[in-house]
Amino acid sequence: MKPIRIALTKGRLEKDTVALFETMGFDCTALHNKGRRLILPIPDANIEVVLAKAADVITYIEHGVCDVGVVGKDTIMEYGGSFFEVADLGFGACRFALAGKKGDDFYAGYAEKTIATKYPNVTRQFFEKKNMDVNIVKIEGSVELAPLLGLADAIVDIVETGSTLRENGLEVFEEVAPISARVIVNTVSMKLDQQTIETLIGNMERARKGEEVR
């Protein structure tokens, strides 16, 4: 029987998912001693883990080279795709927020606003729902610089504690959307291995809640 292949977002979500697997009783020795390997076995669970960047997790799931993926809701919202989003694992919790210089009245006036962000699709959809025309500037690095340098009226970015905003004289104007780690599944894999995948995901959710794994 071929293993279920799971794509994990490298970094924090990877560590949190591995910890969850261990709570489920899986032997994650290979994942702790990975070296430079990017495909790693969990032999006692008949699972192969693939470590990838967030956007690539979606690509691998869509193209069917991985069956299951763990990726942040931020990546799903920005890139979209054809897959099933089946579970919220709860960890990696943060939020998309609209922020700018402390004390600014962002919604005052009728002039077109300029928004700096690493997430142009999320930003566009947010303002379309408000029927607002905005000019979006894509930033790759520290997006907080944009309003400080006069490049943008505000930013849309991921906020966890808000400390970086406060230290730079910025504040949250409005929450855009909550974010956390989600489980996604390839549409064909769900049909071919439905029972195995549903059992795995059900056990992941039970382990997250501290319930007994079946």
Report the CATH number at residue 60.
3.40.190.10
Domain presence at residue 41: yes
User: Per the structure, how many domains does the chain have?
Assistant: 2
> Each residue of 41-85: pLDDT tens digit?
999 999 999 999 999 999 999 999 999 999 999 999 999 999 999
Helix (H) or strand (E) holding 13: helix 12-23
Domain presence at residue 214: no
Task: Please state, in angstroms and as integers, the Cα–Cα distance from residue 54 to each residue in 9, 44, 86, 145, following that order.
Answer: 5, 26, 17, 24
Residue 22 shares a structural domain with residue 79: yes
Instruction: Quote the mean pLDDT of the chain.
Output: 96
Identify the residue with better confidence: 212 or 117. 117
Residue 16 shares a structural domain with residue 70: yes
Residue 43 shares a structural domain with residue 75: yes
Contact 61, 184 (CB under 8 A): yes
Domain presence at residue 58: yes
Best CA proximity match to 61, nearest among 199, 197, 187, 194: 187
Best CA proximity match to 117, nearest among 77, 85, 90: 77
Confidence class of residue 214 from pLDDT cuts 50, 70 and 90?
confident
Q: What per-residue confidence (pLDDT) applies to 109?
A: 85
Sequence-distant (≥ 6) Cβ neighbours of residue 102 within 8 angstroms:
169, 170, 171
Residue 146 shares a structural domain with residue 190: no
DSSP structure class, residue 150: T
Residue 126 shares a structural domain with residue 67: no
Residue 9 shares a structural domain with residue 73: yes
